[in-house]
A = this chain, B = another copy of it.
C-alpha cells in the first residue's frame, strides 16, 4: 500500500513539476523564492509542497538548499510539457486557433489522463518536433531535445535571418508580433543596430520597423543561407 505505483500525481503537483523543469533550464539553481514567484504563491506553500514532493521522490530537497528534480520528476515534468505543447500544436494546426490563444487552454488540457488522446494528436500532427512557438516537444518517454539558440539582438548587421522561436510565449509578446506581422519563419534583414539602447531596425519584406532590445532578445533566429 505504501508504494502504490498507480498513485496519480495531482493536477497541482504537475504544475509544480513543470515550473521546476522550466526554472531549471533557466537558472540551474532553483530556490523556494523562484518557485513562489513563478507559481504566484507564498513561500510557505512552496516549502510545504517541497517536503511532500521530496517524500514522493519527485525532487531532492534539503532545507535552505536549492531544489533539484529527480530523474523521475524530470520525466514526469517532460511528459506534461509534451502534452502541453502537443495540445498547442493541435489547437493551432487542427482547430485554427491563433498562436496567442492556445496557451491558457493547453494549461488545462495538459492534465487530461489519457495516453491515447495525446497519441492521436501526435499522429494527426505527424509527430511534430516543435510547438507553435518554436519550442521543442519532448518525446513520449520524456526525453527533451534542448536547442541552444541565439536571440536576434546578437544577429550581425546586414544579415538575413529567419525567426525560428521565442524565449517565451507571453500573450503580450505574441500579440505584439501579430501586430507587426512577424511569425515563425518570417525573414528579416538587420538594417541598423543602435548600440546605445540595443534597438535595431529590420526589414520584414518591404516593411521596415524598429525592434527594441526587449523584443529582439526574445526572438530566436537562424541565419538565412
Chain A residues within 8 Å of B, Cβ to Cβ: 91, 94-97, 101, 104-105, 108-109, 112-114, 116-117, 120-121, 124
Which residue in chain B gives the minimum CB-CB distance to A116?
B101
Copies in the complex: 2
Nearest CB of B to A119, in Å = 10
Which residue in chain B gives the minimum CB-CB distance to A117?
B105
When the two chains form their complex, are residues A108 and B101 in contact, meaning their CB atoms are under 8 A apart? no
Report the separation of the CA atoms of residues A91 and B113 in the bound assembly, to the nearest whole angstrom: 15
Report the separation of the CA atoms of residues A114 and B95 in the bound assembly, to the nearest whole angstrom: 14
When the two chains form their complex, are residues B112 and A108 in contact, meaning their CB atoms are under 8 A apart? yes
Nearest CB of B to A22, in Å = 22
Which residue in chain B gives the minimum CB-CB distance to A104?
B114
Report the separation of the CA atoms of residues A113 and B109 in the bound assembly, to the nearest whole angstrom: 10
When the two chains form their complex, are residues A114 and B124 in contact, meaning their CB atoms are under 8 A apart? no
16 extra interface residue pairs, beta carbon distance < 8 Å, beyond A95-B120, A104-B114, A109-B112:
A91-B117, A95-B117, A95-B121, A95-B124, A96-B120, A97-B116, A97-B120, A101-B116, A105-B112, A105-B114, A105-B116, A105-B117, A108-B112, A108-B113, A108-B114, A109-B109
